[in-house]
A and B are shown apart, each in its own frame.
Chain A
Amino acid sequence: MKYFLRKTLILVLTVFLISVFTFIAFHIIPGDPAGLILGTNATEEQLEALREQLGTNRPLSEQYSSWISGFVKGDFGSSIRYRMPVSALLKGRLPVTLALGLISLAIILLLGIPLGILAARMRGTWVEKVIHFLTILGISVPNFFLCILLMWIFGMVLHFFTPGEYISYTKNLPGFFRSLFWPAISIAIPQTAILTKYIRTAMLEELGEDYVRTARGKGAGETWILYLHVLKNAIVAVVPLIGMIVASVLSGSIIIEQVYGIPGMGKLLIGAVTSRDFPLTQTLVIYITVLIVITNFLVDIAIQLIDPRIRLSGKS
């Protein structure tokens, strides 16, 4: 319980710092948001009126407190480019990015864990070498290059899917998931490679432990040892990785949505950056970062619950 409270406190502090950082980053800049909105041929009165309306002529601390209190209430300000509330823009796009992220995460776990086990199980054989080679390649390939390759080979040559086709979830739910499958693969492959590498290392480390020797001494078969003893401990060792994977999946989707033209938060963000839409960029940055920080928080709590070593040492 004490642990939980401490973690919550750190979470709150981190979220606060994130908001302050982002706020400062977008407000210390040379340049006037009002000038940016109205363009170069605005009169001084127009500028002054807009500054008053945006509140950019007030002291920074005052601007921060009014902005953050609006943020907590769900009022994220208005986008300069789209001239509409940011919350309205987010509404339709959040489910798309979340669905893309979840599919990617599922692929990563469903591929990474078995491959890692296989590599550990077949240690010293060509199977392990092939997996090792593929993991090195997977880690080194930029996901957008992978994307282009997949589009070309599976989309245009083999006709498994139509590149650039996106089906809205409001129209056709199965079609929506189908259209997200290949983008999700592109996001998942680098992370799958990392997870495979970790699982393999964790399994091999566990295989050298005393309890494995004891189990072998008692006559337990290799399969029994691997799946009943080693896997359990290896998975515990990998749980902390989930937070990092979620962060990478969300970062990956920012780029991949752009490549495939999927209307999610990532595409919105890149559009906001290129048109220098400060309020929209600011909100999206905070949104995505807080999502990741909360995931990490949940992972920490999960580790606490799963791993008796940590759970018990926390109590004493």
Chain B
Amino acid sequence: MRDGKKELRIGLVLTGIILGLALISLFYTPYDYNAMDKAARSLAPSLKHLFGTDSYGRDIFSRAIFGSRYTLLVALSTVGSCTVIASVLGLVSGYVGGILDEVIMRIIDAISSFPDILIALMVVTVLNLGQFTIVAALCITFVPSFTRIVRTATLQYKNAEFVKNLRVFGVSDMRILLVHIFPNTFPLLLSTIVIGLSNAILAEAAMSYLGLGIQPPIPSWGRMLQEAQTIVYTTPWAAVCPGIMIVVTIVGLNCIGEGLRKLYL
């Protein structure tokens, strides 16, 4: 087996499990995620409640798989919007070069000298805390690294033989950039996107844990961990279940990213 294929396979299986659960939860959860059953408070995991119930009598498994859609949605929209912004910045910066490149890259450098969590906290402070402020906050933290990757790839192809030929034929710069250079950045961009997704999920969980991400009543993994923390002695499963969901997702995505990098680069 080629190096990297094994990682890719493990990653796809783990991520597949989480995605599968998230998809199932669109149509069916064992219990309503917010239903409080007074008779079933703080129950240990059993066949009736796979991961037990919390101190309000809510089914933890239902909450965890119901919450996954928001975590995944935040991660996808963060990485998606960030990819768009970074592609434009990286392509323009790399292709045009000169003073524009210098200005864009210095700003990017300055942004990336802030630790990610500080940028996210800053954005959350400045913008009013809405349901999806977190997307804007995380997007800004990821733009620098994505932009650098696209720019590096653009520089690599800017003076390639085939691009020079295209110029001789009078192909417009816009077309060269979008049709001929941009697709060549995909292999590099793809593994960055996958790693970006895993970072976004970790960051979202951290922000939701701090109460600054997804707002109640929507359950999210980070929030569930925060609620579970005070009752961890009596109901440890309330913390373990969402925690495991996060870890499985992150391991899965990291394996895919690593596998892709080894296979295609």
A289 touches B206 (CB 8 A): no
- Cα A25 to Cα B137 with chains together (Å): 12
- Which residues of chain A are near B202, meaning CB under 8 Å? 142
Q: Which of A98-106, A170-178, A274-282 contacts B (4 or more CB under 8 A)?
A: A274-282
A31 to B243, CA, bound (A): 37
23 pairs of residues in contact across A and B, judged by CB atoms under 8 Å: A17-B110, A18-B110, A18-B113, A21-B110, A21-B111, A22-B122, A136-B251, A140-B247, A142-B250, A144-B205, A144-B206, A151-B232, A152-B232, A152-B236, A156-B233, A247-B115, A251-B116, A255-B206, A255-B210, A259-B229, A270-B121, A273-B212, A274-B212
Q: Which residues of B contact A139 (CB under 8 A)?
A: 250, 254
B117 at the interface (CB under 8 A from A): yes
Which residues in chain A, 145-164, are within 8 Å of chain B measured between CB atoms?
145, 148-149, 151-152, 156
Task: Check B118 against A288 for contact (C-beta < 8 Å).
Answer: yes
Cβ < 8 Å to B, chain A residues 93-146: 136-137, 139-142, 144-145
Q: Is A273 a contact partner of B114 (Cβ separation < 8 A)?
A: no
Interface size of B in residues (CB-CB distance below 8 Å): 43
Contact with A along B192-218 (1 / 0, CB 8 A): 000000100010011001111000000
Q: Which residues of A contact B110 (CB under 8 A)?
A: 14, 17-18, 21
Measured between beta carbons, the chain A residues less than 8 angstroms from B115 are 247-248, 250-251, 288-289, 292
Q: Which residues of A contact B128 (CB under 8 A)?
A: 31
B128-149 CB contact bits vs A (8 Å, 1 = yes)? 1000000000000000000000
Cβ of A293 under 8 Å from chain B: yes
Q: CA–CA, A255 to B222, complex, Å?
A: 12
Q: How far is the CB of B80 from chain A (nearest CB, A)?
A: 22
Task: Please indicate the chain B residues that have their CB under 8 angstroms from the CB of A259 in the complex.
Answer: 229
Instruction: Give the residue of B117, B126, B127, B247 whose beta carbon is less than 8 angstroms from that of A251.
Output: B117
Minimum CB–CB distance from B3 to chain A (whole Å) comes to 14
Q: Is A29 an interface residue (CB 8 A)?
A: yes
A interface residues, tally (CB under 8 Å) = 44
Interface residues of A in 270-316 (CB under 8 A from B): 270, 272-274, 276, 278, 281, 285, 288-289, 292-293, 296
- A302: shortest Cβ distance to chain B, in Å? 18
Report chain B residues within 8 Å CB of A285: 114, 118, 121-122
Instruction: List the B side residues contacting A149 at CB < 8 Å.
Output: 239-240, 243
A-chain residues with CB within 8 Å of residue B229 when the two chains form the complex:
148, 151, 259
Q: Evaluate whether A273 and B124 lie within 8 angstroms (CB atoms) in the complex, with A145-B225, A156-B232 already known.
A: yes
B6 located at the interface, meaning its Cβ lies under 8 Å from any Cβ of chain A in the complex: no
Taking a contact as CB atoms closer than 8 A, the residue among A14, A17, A137 that contacts B247 in the complex is A137
Instruction: Report Cα–Cα, A31/B124, bound state, in Å.
Output: 14
Specify which of B106, B114, B123, B232 is in contact with A18 (CB 8 Å cutoff): B114
Measured in the bound complex, the distance between the Cα atoms of B106 and A251 in whole Å is: 23
B22 on the interface (CB 8 Å rule)? no
B109 at interface by CB-CB < 8 Å = yes
**Contact residues, A248-267 vs B (CB, 8 A):** 248, 250-251, 254-255, 258-259
**B156: Cβ under 8 A from any A Cβ:** no
Interface centre among A26, A140, A248 (most CB of B within 10 A): A140
Is A269 close to B, CB under 8 A?
Answer: yes
A residues within 8 A CB of B122? 22, 25-26, 281, 285
- A298 → chain B closest CB, angstroms: 15
